[in-house]
Amino acid sequence: MGYPALPDAVTLRSMLLAARERTLEYARALTGPQLLGPRLAIVNPPLWEIGHVGWFQEHWCLRYRPGNGKAPPLIGNGDALYDSAAVAHGVRWDLPLPGLEPTLDYLGRVLDDVLERLDREGAAGELGYFLQLAAFHEEMHCEAFTCTRQTLGYRGPGQAASTRPHAPAGAWPGDAEIAGGEFRLGADPGQGGFVFDNEKWMHRVDVLPFRIARAPVTQSEFAAFVAEDGYARRELWSAEGWQWRERAGARVPLYWTRNGGGWSRRVFDDDQPLAPNAPMVHVNGHEADAWCRWAGRRLPTEAEWECAAATAPGLPGKRRFPWGETAPAAQANLFGVSGTCADVAAFGEGDSGWGCRQMFGNVWEWTADAFGPYPGFVADPYREYSEPWFGDHRVLRGGCFATRAGLLRNTWRNFYTPDRRDVFAGIRTCAL
């Protein structure tokens, strides 16, 4: 494969160190039984996942040799322990994992060797590509670590950030009217920079005019669905969604409990009242579909979401971010801004060209589309990233409060099975 223009060595070093700092913050907060945690299908044993982050970086940045095998691992049984493509999820709790301190020592040795290679060879070409892949992979696992904290009821990340509320900003109702027309979905090969294989490449789709909500569905809007017995009304659910609801015994949103006449919800290790104007979060694809039927709305297609995020009236072509070409800073509630969601009317600086707010940050947004390849798809060297998940996963867009800003662009595709409620995901809808 050809390697695109990438950040310089100083920037790559900073990306790698920032991701590692975040991993270490998570790792050092774990004690005793938390290192393995309960055996669940939706989380990894934390001790295994921390080691896997180091193994991945070592594999691609130190050991990988295209067409010429690979160098031996730093630890003799590293592949048998940490190769996620070869080690089944259910057995990861049973492996002879090193303790936390030896695992962290391994991560440190790998990073030291990676930075030494970067200093020696520079950031161009193959090495620069795999360094960025490793940094992004670690950041994605850091977001997964945050989901694990929520799933298992651990303390929120970083200086009790989850206890520092955003200033109230209110609701942001109404729809934006999008002109539609011929649209180029996907990444532009001429734009440069890192993209994943599932974003390649830009291709023509026709988008009819549509109206999309200016903001995600709020917690109070979802509470109205719950109050009208939305979970018990079969006509609101798809066949697959109803089967999930029955199998899971879902009667109310995840983490919600009755609090007098209202509701509270667990945020990491703390019970808090609903935030009425914050986005609904921890809702899965089936719940999103059901809410839409109840409200007389629908989920956007991938093309509609990207069109609303990346285009603007009278502007030819597409923007890299909803607000333009400037890298995310104060425009979105992403990692480093806070440890929880803000009201949907906050972060007006990040509005898209059509007036849609928070298309980046706060919560991932479900789309109507299954995750699949774009025309002419060719897997990148990390073949396990996309191709194994085509078909039974659904696309989400836009990032959440736990996403590092450097990961995102308007073409970035996330993907989960529609039964997953542990993800920091919400709902943005379209008019029928």
Judged against a pLDDT cut of 60, whether residue 160 lies above it is answered with no
Residues 6+ apart with CB under 8 A from 409: 187, 195, 320, 321
Judged against a pLDDT cut of 60, whether residue 31 lies above it is answered with yes
Judged against a pLDDT cut of 50, whether residue 57 lies above it is answered with yes
What pLDDT, in 10s, does the model give residues 105-140? 999 999 999 999 999 999 988 999 999 999 999 999
Calpha distance 45→97 (Å, rounded): 10
Compute the average pLDDT of residues 308-336.
Answer: 95
Check residue 70 and give its pLDDT.
78
Judged against a pLDDT cut of 60, whether residue 222 lies above it is answered with yes
DSSP 186-221: S--TTT-S---GGG---EEEEE--EEEESSPPBHHH
Of the ranges 191-195, 244-248, 289-293, which one carries the lowest mean pLDDT score? Answer: 191-195
Is there a contact between 53 and 22 (Cβ–Cβ < 8 Å)?
Answer: no
What pLDDT, in 10s, does the model give residues 336-391? 888 899 999 999 999 999 999 999 999 999 999 999 999 999 999 999 999 999 99
Compute the average pLDDT of residues 155-166.
Answer: 61
Residues 6+ apart with CB under 8 A from 61: 114, 117, 127, 130, 131, 134
Is there a contact between 23 and 141 (Cβ–Cβ < 8 Å)?
Answer: yes
Calpha distance 189→39 (Å, rounded): 42
Check residue 163 and give its pLDDT.
43
Phi, psi angles (nearest 5°) of residue 389:
-105, 0
Task: Tell me the domains of the chain and their CATH numbers.
Answer: 9-154 (1.20.120), 163-432 (3.90.1580.10)
Q: What integer best gives the mean pLDDT of the chain?
A: 95
Calpha distance 411→321 (Å, rounded): 9
Give the DSSP H or E segment for 183. Answer: strand 181-185
What pLDDT, in 10s, does the model give residues 223-247? 999 999 999 999 999 999 999 999 9
Count of alpha carbons within 13 Å of 220, Cβ hemisphere only? Answer: 10
Calpha distance 273→188 (Å, rounded): 44
Check residue 400 and give its pLDDT.
98
Of the ranges 2-16, 268-282, 358-372, 386-400, which one carries the lowest mean pLDDT score? Answer: 2-16
Compute the average pLDDT of residues 159-168.
Answer: 57
Structure confidence at residue 191 as a pLDDT band (50, 70, 90): confident
